[in-house]
Structure formats: structure tokens, C-alpha cells
Amino acid sequence: MRVYLYITLTLCTFLGCNSPKVKIEEYENLQRENVKLKQQNKILNDSLSGYNKKFIMSQILIGIPDEPVIKVAKNNNIKIIFHPFSMQMPQYEIFKVDGLKEVKIGSSNKTGFDYVFIPKSVKDNKINLKVKIPLENDTIEIPAAMILQVEE
């Protein structure tokens, strides 16, 4: 917008406006218009920022194993997807959660990722993950917890 104002003022100067009064009035009009546009731009930026935060906070993670029954001591792929997944996600980090301990296992900006689960026993049937998405001056955390059917 500043470029538009600059170009207008430059053209007016070089093409020569007939009256100094006209130049002053046009300049004042342009200044008022510039102030209005800056206010509208701020409102739009605030609105977009709020929308992005609401969108990210509305996400849930859904885990879908490739097989209905998970096998002990074998690689079992589980697709983790964001729902809704119709928009591109910002860069995020993926953590495996074990009690209070969080271990970073990856990062992405896609609407889904694969997680390989290798249960140690039939009782090892719980998965706890967390996705951390930085947004402005905050971090949004989205948990994912699953209980799977595990067999020998």
C-alpha cells in the first residue's frame, strides 16, 4: 500500500498538478486513505491469526493400524492422521509419551504420519503420542492415546 501511495505522489509531482491547493487536498485524502487501509490490514491480520489458532486447536489425532491385531515383537505400522485434515499443517514435532517423559521421534508438516509400534508383550498394548505445534508465541499440544489388541 505504501508503494501505491509513493507512486501516486510521485506521478502527481512529476506531472504537475495545477494548483497547490489541489496537491494539498489530494495529499490529505491519500493520508486518510492510508490510515484507513492500515486499520483494515490490522483487523484482517488479527482475524487470520485467530482463525489459524482455532483451526489448530480443533484438531484431533486418530490412529489407524494397518492390521486389526498387533503382533508382539513385530513392526506394526499405525497411520496417525489429523482430523479434520483438509488443510496444510504448520511444522510440528512428534513425541512418544511414557509417563511424564516425552521423547521426540520426528517432525512433519503433513496431515498424517506413520508410527511403527513394536509391543514387547501382549500387555504392551497402549500407545501415547503427542504433537506440539508452535503458533505465534504459544505451543499447541495435541495428545493421541490408543489401546490396541495385541497377540503373540
pLDDT 10s digits, 34-48: 999 999 998 888 887
CA distances, 14 to each of 11, 20, 29 (Å): 5, 14, 19
Residue 7 scores a pLDDT above 60:
yes
> Of 8-17, 37-46, 52-61, 68-77, which one has max mean pLDDT?
68-77
Kindly list the distances between the CA atom of residue 111 and the CA atoms of 6, 88, 89, 91, 129, in Å, as whole numbers in the listed order: 43, 7, 6, 10, 15
Query: Is-contact 102 143, C-beta < 8 A?
Result: no
27, 43, 141 from 38: Cα distances, Å: 16, 9, 33
**With 80 as the cut, is the pLDDT of residue 87 above it?**
no
Instruction: Please tell me the predicted confidence (pLDDT) of residue 28.
Output: 87
pLDDT of 86 > 80? The answer is no
Mean pLDDT of the chain: 85
